[in-house]
């Protein structure tokens, strides 16, 4: 495919106009540009050019059925990509854009079906990042952009993550440092009689309810048996996956911490390299564990979401066989954090107060 990926360092608040123009020219010519948003790095292409859009899927190894989000930089672009836009969409846009809320609406025919995996809908958002907004405005186009990672890998929150996954597969990366929020946007479907949150994300559901009191949340969680760990992975849509297995422990904070220590110790005693994703105040409890990645203070959900994917990637790079993570509060940004941890765990939850149960890690069956 491509041979080299160019990286341009840009200031997050005041990117040089010349650098933005270099990127805009690539987008207008049908190329791929990875760029920062306030959520994660996006892999952008001209949303109105089906060949450019197809290159996104190829670069990521993403199935063509998996729809992309179209990014815009001005209110008028909403009506250019979506039709029959309901008044609620305009109210939500006025309140949340630019910001981490994606609206699913009826797709205009000029947006190729490739963008939406063949659906007659289109997902749209206006990102709240100066680099993204200036790039989209300079290109003069709506920009289709999924997260700039290989399919099923954790989303990239730094330019180095993009390079790790997509070097040689993307024309240019605009590097503006780490993404502030660190988890993807909230996706809200407005094409159903009752609006549905398809994915929790950077815009808390509690905030959406102020404008959409009747909204529903799509429940993709497998019903984990209350007394035991799920018998096998793979019962859950695999996504955001570290290479290592991730064990997710649910329950009240003190019980979760106690079980995390027990699980991590048991795994390490069987000769596995263990990494723990820990709250800052709990780190001292894991002194005997091989790798400890600190996510942030338990009450700082914004700090935890900012660190989450980066720390999962750090542990993966360190070569651990298994990661152990615990539940945080599921309110506000915590719902998105829980969703990403649950998917990284492939839907398998260990309830902190449940009796020990066997889990399969590679060839080993270990009771934790």
Which spans of this chain sit near ligand AMP (rule: CB under 6 A)? Answer: 67, 69, 104, 116, 119, 121-123, 146-147, 184, 187, 198-199
Answer with the entry of ligand AMP, Mg ion, none that 263 interacts with (C-beta below 5 to 8 A by kind). none
Is there binding between residue 39 and Mg ion (CB under 5 A)? no
> Per the omega criterion (within 30 degrees of 0), is the bond before 68 cis?
no
Answer with the entry of ligand AMP, Mg ion, none that 198 interacts with (C-beta below 5 to 8 A by kind). ligand AMP
Answer with the entry of Mg ion, ligand AMP, none that 128 interacts with (C-beta below 5 to 8 A by kind). none
CB of 362 to ligand AMP, least distance (A): 28
Answer with the entry of Mg ion, ligand AMP, none that 175 interacts with (C-beta below 5 to 8 A by kind). none
The residue among 73 and 187 lying less far from ligand AMP, judged by its C-beta, is: 187
Which residues lie closer than 8 Å to 255 by C-beta, 6 or more apart? 352, 353
CB of 17 to ligand AMP, least distance (A): 27
Answer with the entry of Mg ion, ligand AMP, none that 186 interacts with (C-beta below 5 to 8 A by kind). none
Is there binding between residue 147 and Mg ion (CB under 5 A)? yes
Q: How far apart are CA 103 and CA 258, in angstroms?
A: 40
CB of 155 to Mg ion, least distance (A): 5
Q: How far apart are CA 109 and CA 280, in angstroms?
A: 49
CB of 97 to ligand AMP, least distance (A): 16
Q: How far apart are CA 144 and CA 224, in angstroms?
A: 35
CB of 67 to ligand AMP, least distance (A): 3
CB of 147 to Mg ion, least distance (A): 3
What distances in angstroms separate CA 96 from CA 31, 119, 211, one per listed residue? 30, 25, 11
Q: Which residue is nearest to Mg ion (CB)?
A: 147
The residue among 147 and 186 lying less far from Mg ion, judged by its C-beta, is: 147
Q: How far apart are CA 124 and CA 255, in angstroms?
A: 41
Answer with the entry of Mg ion, ligand AMP, none that 67 interacts with (C-beta below 5 to 8 A by kind). ligand AMP
Q: How far apart are CA 56 and CA 53, in angstroms?
A: 5
CB neighbours of residue 297 within 10 Å: 13
The residue among 114 and 311 lying less far from ligand AMP, judged by its C-beta, is: 114
Residue ranges binding Mg ion (CB under 5 A): 147
């Amino acid at each position: 495919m491509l041979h080299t990926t160019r990286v341009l360092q840009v200031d997050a608040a005041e990117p040089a106009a010349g650098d933005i123009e270099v990127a805009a020219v690539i987008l207008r010519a049908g190329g791929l540009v990875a760029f920062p948003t306030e959520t994660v790095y996006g892999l952008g292409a001209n949303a109105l050019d089906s060949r450019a859009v197809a290159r996104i899927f190829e670069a990521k190894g993403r199935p063509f059925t998996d729809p992309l989000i179209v990014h815009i930089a001005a209110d008028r672009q909403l009506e250019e990509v979506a039709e029959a836009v309901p008044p609620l969409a305009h109210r939500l846009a006025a309140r949340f854009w630019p910001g981490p809320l994606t609206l699913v609406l009826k797709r205009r025919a000029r947006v190729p079906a490739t963008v939406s995996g063949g659906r007659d809908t289109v997902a749209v958002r206006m990102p709240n990042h100066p680099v993204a907004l200036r790039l989209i405005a300079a290109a003069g186009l709506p920009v289709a952009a999924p997260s700039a990672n290989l399919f099923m890998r954790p989303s990239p929150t730094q330019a180095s993550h993009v390079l790790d996954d997509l070097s040689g597969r993307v024309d240019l990366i605009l590097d503006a440092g780490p993404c502030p929020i660190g988890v993807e946007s909230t996706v809200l479907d407005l094409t159903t009689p009752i609006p549905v949150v398809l994915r929790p994300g950077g815009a808390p559901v509690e905030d959406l309810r102020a404008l959409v009191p009747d909204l529903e949340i799509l429940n993709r969680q497998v019903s984990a048996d209350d007394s035991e760990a799920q018998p096998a992975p793979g019962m859950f849509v695999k996504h955001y996956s570290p290479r290592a297995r991730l064990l997710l422990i649910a329950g009240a904070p003190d019980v979760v911490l106690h079980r995390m220590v027990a699980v991590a110790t048991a795994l390490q005693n069987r000769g596995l390299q263990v990494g723990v994703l820990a709250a800052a105040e709990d780190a001292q409890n894991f002194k005997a564990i091989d790798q400890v990645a600190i996510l942030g203070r338990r009450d700082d959900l914004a700090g935890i979401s900012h660190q989450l994917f980066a720390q999962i990637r750090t542990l993966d790079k360190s070569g651990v066989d298994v990661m152990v993570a615990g539940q945080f509060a599921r309110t506000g940004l915590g719902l998105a954090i829980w969703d990403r941890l649950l998917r990284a765990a492939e839907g398998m939850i260990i309830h902190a107060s449940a009796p020990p149960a066997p889990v399969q890690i590679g060839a080993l069956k270990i009771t934790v």
